[in-house]
Structure 1
């Protein structure tokens, strides 16, 4: 990822090869493709609003799950609606990773430590604040592997990365 892209968050493209995915799920679960298709329609039109992509990407198709377990999956549409309802009530609490980290830590809950925060605006933090692409690049080079990165604000893991290696190492 180019350094200039680090401050940007995009919803990832999530293509699913539908015919192949349905056939593979049917074979893995030893049911017909029609059964899988009917389940996708039921979960997509029910309270879950689980899209075709969500059905496969979130694992609702995996063998061994009961109907009750499959019914617990929620689609992105429902999750986004829940986030919008909760955000005003909690003042954006769950969308701010630094705030959640501080509250959990001070409450005695074990959390993975925050090593640094990339922020273009004014921010005061107990951890290192990276204010420019060169500072971010230097941090990425010197930080021991593995580590996990995510946007400070936002939900649904959009923009999250797991860094387990570097080119040339």
Structure 2
């Protein structure tokens, strides 16, 4: 098994954090992992993206060409990366900020109102954790408990953010769980 995921959005939306937490979660579960962040102009407002590959055996390359999963947090990411995902793959859309979903008929689209759900919690900074919760539920790449442990570890130096991050993760996870019933 080799599963490749690609996360994209504006710098400041936490896309690199989503990828890193997923990578750490998979490592906690004994899987082989590569994490490749792209540090270009990802200052707030610029584009940021990262790739995460998870496998049962060693991974030859950290580059995730034609990923099975693509998480897009804004419209420019959809426009730029929609043709990057493999045919038959799944694209997650932060539908609050994406008004023109891709027109490809060969991929599954999963619309998550991540920004709106974070705004309901009065915690816009946790939009990425909402999306990560939805992603983990839908893909099953790692166990929920493992992801929650990785979130706590990720924010260990910012302990005051842990409760909000976990609540946001749960909100996204529960959103997908309710959507699938």
Bigger strand share = 2
Please say which structure displays the higher CA radius of gyration.
1
Using the size of structure 1 for normalisation, the TM-score is 0.24
Using the size of structure 2 for normalisation, the TM-score is 0.23
